[in-house]
Amino acid sequence: MSQLEAKQRIYQVLGKIPAGHVCTYGQVAELAGLARAARLVGTTLKNLPKDSNLPWHRVINAQGRISLPPDSPSHQRQLERLQKEGVAVVGGRISLAQFQWQP
């Protein structure tokens, strides 16, 4: 598959994540057919257009943490949106066992 298709797939997977749930980078990568390319997912999200309405904030790392720097504006937006959707963020951590989306 082409890299372009890969991105399209990533976007598609993002759109499938229901509100109130989260997904790890690795999981998104795998669902997009890019197993072991979790880093690429992060890079792709970074390059995501600002006016995009994709729920990128529902993607976190396998540790249940937000990968962005705590002092980053994006980090705060992600945190706020997650809590608004009902995802409990305790001590900067999210319980994957409880909130991870399972297709």
Partner DNA sequence: TTCGTGACGTGCA
Partner DNA sequence: GTGCACGCCACGA
98 binds DNA (CB under 7 A): no
The residues facing 100 across adjacent strands are 22
Nearer to DNA, 56 or 99 (CB): 56
- For the packed helices 3-16 and 38-46, what is the interaxial angle rounded to 10 degrees? 80
The correct pick among 17, 31, 34, 94 for binding DNA (CB under 7 A) is 34
Nearer to DNA, 5 or 16 (CB): 5
Least CB distance to DNA at residue 18 (A): 18
| Residue 86, CB-side half-sphere exposure with 13 Å CA sphere | 7
Alpha-helical segments (H) within 1-103: 3-16, 25-31, 38-46, 73-84, 96-99
Residues that bind DNA (CB under 7 A): 3, 6, 24-27, 34, 36-43, 45-46, 48, 56-57, 59, 61-63, 67-68, 74, 78, 93
